[in-house]
């Protein structure tokens, strides 16, 4: 790994450039573990692994003005390997260009783990020819052998994707591959527009609950909801005429709140 932030509090990294070949293994650009209140600003990262990886014990992470490519994208995880506990909360990526990477914004967890990922916001992101622009993978298996099926999982909830556009290499521009026993919940999509240069695009869902408002392309109708009537009026807000569950209301409030609430030791 190029940079590792481990067991730290109140860290700011800005104007950093990382350049590793796209085929270099395990060369994460910036790796954050067991740290809180971390700000990454105006960084350009090219690598053979994740441009930024955020793993267990990390919270209040703010990234702004990030260029990623080549690499595996900007990832939360992996979490839950070898039946371990993984916890990541309050992460914001605001303003990024992700170009020619295998993933865009990704959450990856192993079967058999426990813990949770929640309170995550990815917004104002431009994808350029990315394999998997938006992906949640609760069946992550970075192993030469196939991973056995397990019922426990790291809970993924309160994930917002807002103002994300660009091009995908994969027909499945959005993938929400979640645990049947610990489904993903409150996935919020707002103003997402992903296209494939030579074909149509779609969204894949497995055990994923959420909703979209504004423009959402490809359609995320495969997301399920416990609410009977998630109807949204326009691109700017949520209709007050339709009820949201408390978790959904919290996510919309988070999206519209001041970013300084997430990382308050520095202005970004």
Distance CA 177, CA 159 (A): 14
pLDDT of residue 225: 81
- Residues in the chain predicted with pLDDT less than 50, given as ranges, are 228-244, 258-268
pLDDT of residue 245: 55
Let me know if 72 is a catalytic residue: yes
Domain 3-261 has CATH 2.160.20.10: yes
31, 72, 217, 242: the catalytic one is 72
pLDDT in tens, 48-65: 999 999 999 999 999 999
Q: What is the pTM of this model?
A: 0.88
Domain ranges of the chain: 3-261
pLDDT of residue 234: 33
Question: Residue 184: CB partners within 8 Å, gap ≥ 6?
Answer: 136, 138, 156, 157, 159, 176, 178, 207, 208, 209, 210
């Amino acid at each position: 790994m190029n940079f590792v932030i481990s067991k730290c509090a109140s860290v700011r990294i800005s104007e950093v450039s990382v350049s590793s070949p796209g085929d270099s293994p395990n060369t994460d650009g910036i790796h954050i573990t067991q740290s809180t209140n971390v700000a990454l600003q105006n960084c350009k990262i090219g690598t053979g692994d994740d441009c930024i990886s955020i793993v267990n014990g990390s919270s209040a992470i703010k990234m702004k003005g990030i260029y990623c490519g080549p690499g595996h994208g900007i990832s939360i995880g992996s979490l839950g390997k070898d039946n371990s506990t993984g916890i990541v909360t309050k992460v914001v990526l605001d303003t990024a260009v992700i170009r020619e990477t295998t993933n865009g914004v990704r959450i990856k967890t192993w079967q058999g783990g426990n813990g949770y990922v929640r309170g995550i916001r990815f917004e104002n992101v431009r994808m350029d020819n990315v394999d998997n622009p938006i992906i949640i993978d609760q069946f992550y298996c970075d192993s030469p052998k196939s991973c056995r099926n397990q019922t426990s999982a790291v809970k993924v909830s309160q994930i917002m994707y807002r103002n994300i556009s660009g091009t995908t290499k994969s027909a499945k521009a959005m993938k929400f591959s979640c645990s049947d026993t610990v489904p993903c919940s409150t996935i919020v999509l707002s103003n997402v527009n992903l296209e494939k240069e030579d074909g149509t695009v779609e969204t894949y869902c497995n055990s994923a609950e959420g909703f979209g408002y504004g423009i959402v392309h490809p359609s995320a109708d495969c997301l399920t909801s416990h609410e009977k009537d998630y109807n949204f009026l326009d691109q700017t807000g949520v209709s007050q005429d339709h009820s949201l569950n408390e978790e959904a209301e919290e996510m919309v409030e988070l999206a519209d709140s001041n970013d300084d609430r997430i990382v308050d030791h520095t202005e970004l």
